[in-house]
Amino acid sequence: MHKRTKALAISAQTKRIVYDRDGGLCIFCGRPGDPVAHVVRRSRGGLGVPENIVTACAACHREFDEGIRSAEMMQTAIAYMENLYPGWSRENVTYKKGF
């Protein structure tokens, strides 16, 4: 597996951490969900680390990725992360070549 691909993937351990952190509930609507949504998208180098992953139900994950409310939901996800991780930034959860 390529180094970048591995860094962006969400490990089983990360999924457990995020699931427990979020109580297994979608951060957008409160329904049961899975810890599989990257705040900084994989296509933009978003790492598969707890500080970049949130729990989302299937409907909200789809909307977050490609829906008309995507920008609003991004702000919700960023605020959620900033609350959990003081000093959170996109840069800190984005893959950097050579690291």
With respect to residue 30, please indicate whether it lies within any of the assigned structural domains.
Answer: yes
Q: Facing residues of 94 across strands?
A: 46
With respect to residue 98, please indicate whether it lies within any of the assigned structural domains.
Answer: no
With respect to residue 14, please indicate whether it lies within any of the assigned structural domains.
Answer: yes
What tens-digit pLDDT sequence spans the chain (99 residues)?
577 778 789 999 999 999 999 999 999 999 999 999 999 999 899 999 999 999 999 999 999 999 999 999 999 999 999 999 999 999 999 998 765
With respect to residue 99, please indicate whether it lies within any of the assigned structural domains.
Answer: no
Task: Tell me the two tokens of residue 38.
Answer: 């990257």
User: What CATH number is given to the structural domain containing 62?
Assistant: 1.10.30
With respect to residue 63, please indicate whether it lies within any of the assigned structural domains.
Answer: yes
With respect to residue 97, please indicate whether it lies within any of the assigned structural domains.
Answer: no
Q: Which domain holds residue 49?
A: 3-92
Q: What are the DSSP E strand ranges found in 46-97?
A: 53-56
Residue 28 phi/psi, 5° resolution?
-95, -40
If one counts the domains in the chain, the total is 1
Report the alpha-carbon angle 98-2-37, nearest 5: 90
Q: What are the DSSP E strand ranges found in the chain?
A: 34-38, 53-56
- What integer pLDDT is reported at residue 98 of this predicted model? 60
